[in-house]
Structure 1
Amino acid sequence: MTPSTAVPQAEDWHDGFRRRTAIELRPSLDTLVDECVAYVQASMPELDVDEELAEGLQQSAHDNLERIFDMLGDGRPVGETTAPPGAIRYAETMVHRGTPLATLLRAYRLGTMWFWTLWKREIAARVEDRELFIEAVDHSMQFVFDYVDAVSEEVTEEYAKQREQWARTAAALRHETVVQVLSGEPLDLDVVAARLGYDVRESHLALVLSAVAGDDAEDVVARLEEQARQIVAPLSPRRLLLVPDGRTTLWVWCSLASASPDTEIAAALGAHRLPRSVVAACGLRGEGRRGFVTSHEEALHVKELLRVGGRHHGRAVHYDKVVVSSLMAADLERAQRFVAHELGALAAGDDATRRIRATVAVLLESGQRTATAKRLGIHQNTVHYRAKHAERLLGHPLSERRFEVEAALRLLRAIEP
């Protein structure tokens, strides 16, 4: 099947071929978006450090690919397109996160490389003739790069506009100052206190609050701020510092007057019920600028652990409660291999096995079947049965590799979806 050598007929054939290919690919949009995002993140892991960035990239890729397939399928020229909503929102997110424009444009270049590889592969699968294949590739190339040029130019303009607006706000100044404090660069702490209305030389507790991906309400930061005030209210903080980090994340520090131990702080924070759409992570109490930094870092570790586990607990999670799991999950791939090696069939995801694991975890912690039964509200015989079942799944008695099994159970509870 070859087009006529006459230019008009050849153009008609290539236009029709391009439309048919786009229409055939369109139903696989969601799968192709996932592949594109994975390709970009493989070269730019910094775009997958939290839900907001990952969700923004996912939505941008979806809207751009959807627009490309629709335009190719309808035969519309590039001159009629504008940057899709997901692309504009992703540029805004980059600005609010302080991400350089070069990072955003590199993501577009990688996305273009991925799409061009996909498109050439699809042409090769449909066209056997070598000369015709080259013609089809050339015919499509101009559209792809014209589209990316048009969208990149508009996204760049939007980034510049948003950056200028953001730079004027007090929130931007607070964010910039806090980032400087966190980076460890030499600063006049009196000037920092004046800018923030908060003295980093005091005793601190840091929290990170996030709305789940997809919460695009305009008042999301305001709602997170209200939740932050409610969470820390039982601690009677002397001062509170609220710093938005992007559209759906809030950094929080509170200055504490009393020397309450972390166990009491964790209990006070855990008593507050949160909406299921909000994740709240808390670090340990810290002193001075160093404590300002370390408490925040610990809160980020908790947030990452919650993200890996994919669960929203409905209450603030304190670093003191998950410190061991957080340390073990720092290398997620090794942690998953450790769990699989130690637990084997006991790591299965069905409800029955989950109940067995929960019972064994309490039994290993308490060391007594009676105490385990009382704590779980079940009969001692049930504890005995589940323990024996666990040993069959493990392939050895619970007394063997007890520490490793207990650690694997604790880790699995933290990272399983």
Structure 2
Amino acid sequence: MPAADIDARAAVLCEDVAVALAARTAAIAGQLVDEVAEHLPAAVADDELRGLMVDGATANVGLVTAMARTWSDPAGNPPPPEVARWARATARAGLSVADVLTVYRLGHARLWRLWQAELAARTPEHELFVHASARCSDFLFRWVDAMSSPVVRIHGEERRRLDRGTEAARVDAVRAILDGEPLDTTAVSLRLRYDLERHHVAVVAWLDELTDPVDEDARLQDAVARVSKWLRPGSTPLLVRGGSQSVWAWVGCDDRPTPPAGGPPAALGDRLRARVTIGTPGHGLDGFRRSHEDAQAAARVVRLTGDAAGGGITTYDDVAVIALLTGDLDRAREFARRRLAPLTGVPGSDVLLDTLRCYLAEGQSYARAARQLGVHENTVAYRVRRALELLGEPDPGALPLRAALAIADALG
């Protein structure tokens, strides 16, 4: 076959593959992140860092497949904003330039395997496959080179910015506490200008959307200040950057803090321009760590469900059960799926489950559930009995059933 003909066919084949991969962008991004998690766990050490990597991988896959469809030259193109944000977050998390390049190497390798598999599935012709593989491989290498250089530059700029002030030392000290490293409590307290031998309530604040970095800082600091004032009027919280879109804070006091009765007022949550979670009170270094872990666990649930109690504020106590039930997401999903499987495909199963949930929420009272749902008590009783029959569960209050319903509610 003439070289010009096979080159033209190879170009078309590569474009077709790019279109096919673009349709699977979200799934492919998840695979790339899983590849990194397996070989470099530090790159996805917490939910925020992993979430930023997912956003960056999704943007990268979308960009590379779009450029491959038109054979655009990747040289000189800036990385997507999501990738730049991830690069800054890696610097804050203490990841090195070598780690950032490893992420790109792992992602490139996984994407290339997927690309080759798609090529192989689309042509049995060996010569065409070889030409198309060479063409696509060359493009991917050039794309990775073009993208990784500015990402490394962004990472370096953020690292230098941190190093210029005391923020890096404060972040390192806080991370050392959270990692359980042996510390001189007095010395670290002086460095942080925050007494660690007190009671603490941890706060995590973050933004859902990308905004101007200066505005981000102002919004996050304002949110922490408002919540701190509500928790302990007159207190000055310890505040450090936890990532490119989040801050971690601790409100300290000499006596055990008791959050005001009734939880955060709706007016406070409505005024916040950020999401906020609050941990349970704790004392000393252990309490400092545990309260932060609780606030982070609550943040994970809020990110997972998209819900926030009290407007933009969620306390750990609000979501403690769901946080514990969804600590292992895959197992939680499988448990709920298996336990509720008998209702799958049953006509009206959604109504049965909604009625059962309402019945349990109303203390297993047919009358109260009927009032909530606007139906007759007998209707509620029938639906509950029918749901329990299908599920093979004689006890509506059985813990496994309640857990499965709670997981299904949280995960959708």
Give the deviation of 1:38 after TM superposition. 1.9
Offset from partner CA, 1:65-109 (integer Å, 9 cap, x none): 455445544445555555454433321221123233333222211
Q: Tell me the TM-score normalised to structure 2 length.
A: 0.82
Aligned to 1:394: 391
Q: CA, structure 1 residues 191+379, in 2 after alignment: closer, same or farther (shift >3 Å)?
A: farther
Aligned to 1:137: 133
2:211 to 206, 210, 216: 216
1:269 to 264, 268, 291: 264
Identity of aligned residues (%): 28
Give the deviation of 1:333 after TM superposition. 2.5
Q: CA, structure 1 residues 371+257, in 2 after alignment: closer, same or farther (shift >3 Å)?
A: farther
SS in 1 for 2:237: strand
Maintained 8 Å contact 2:237/2:250:
yes
Instruction: Give unpaired runs (5+ residues) of structure 1.
Output: none
Q: CA, structure 1 residues 29+138, in 2 after alignment: closer, same or farther (shift >3 Å)?
A: closer
1:146 to 142, 151, 157: 142
Aligned to 2:360: 361
Aligned mates of 2:76, 2:167 — CA distance in 1? 37
Offset from partner CA, 1:203-257 (integer Å, 9 cap, x none): 1111212222x33343223212212222232332533122221121121210134
Aligned to 1:41: 33
Q: CA, structure 1 residues 20+310, in 2 after alignment: closer, same or farther (shift >3 Å)?
A: same
SS in 2 for 1:98: coil
2:324 to 298, 323, 327: 327
Q: CA, structure 1 residues 359+84, in 2 after alignment: closer, same or farther (shift >3 Å)?
A: closer
1:191 to 159, 183, 187: 187
Offset from partner CA, 1:389-412 (integer Å, 9 cap, x none): 43344334335x623323333343
Offset from partner CA, 1:110-143 (integer Å, 9 cap, x none): 2211332233334434554324433443344333
Aligned mates of 2:30, 2:228 — CA distance in 1? 38
* 1:113 matches 2:115: no
Maintained 8 Å contact 1:359/1:383:
no
Aligned to 2:351: 352
Aligned to 1:340: 337
Aligned mates of 2:295, 2:344 — CA distance in 1? 28
SS in 1 for 2:269: coil
Offset from partner CA, 1:260-309 (integer Å, 9 cap, x none): 55xx5573336542479743222211011110011111111222222333
2:323 alignment partner AA: S
| Worse-superposed segment, 281-290 or 347-356 | 347-356
Q: How many residues align?
A: 402
1:98 to 94, 106, 110: 94
Maintained 8 Å contact 1:346/1:394:
yes
Q: Tell me the TM-score normalised to structure 1 length.
A: 0.81
Instruction: Give unpaired runs (5+ residues) of structure 2.
Output: none
Offset from partner CA, 1:3-53 (integer Å, 9 cap, x none): 34xxxx48xx52x34542354345446434323322222223345566643
Q: CA, structure 1 residues 354+102, in 2 after alignment: closer, same or farther (shift >3 Å)?
A: farther
| RMSD of aligned residue pairs (Cα, Å) | 3.4
Q: CA, structure 1 residues 353+207, in 2 after alignment: closer, same or farther (shift >3 Å)?
A: farther
Q: CA, structure 1 residues 68+297, in 2 after alignment: closer, same or farther (shift >3 Å)?
A: closer
| Worse-superposed segment, 311-320 or 376-385 | 376-385
Offset from partner CA, 1:166-186 (integer Å, 9 cap, x none): 221333332222111112222
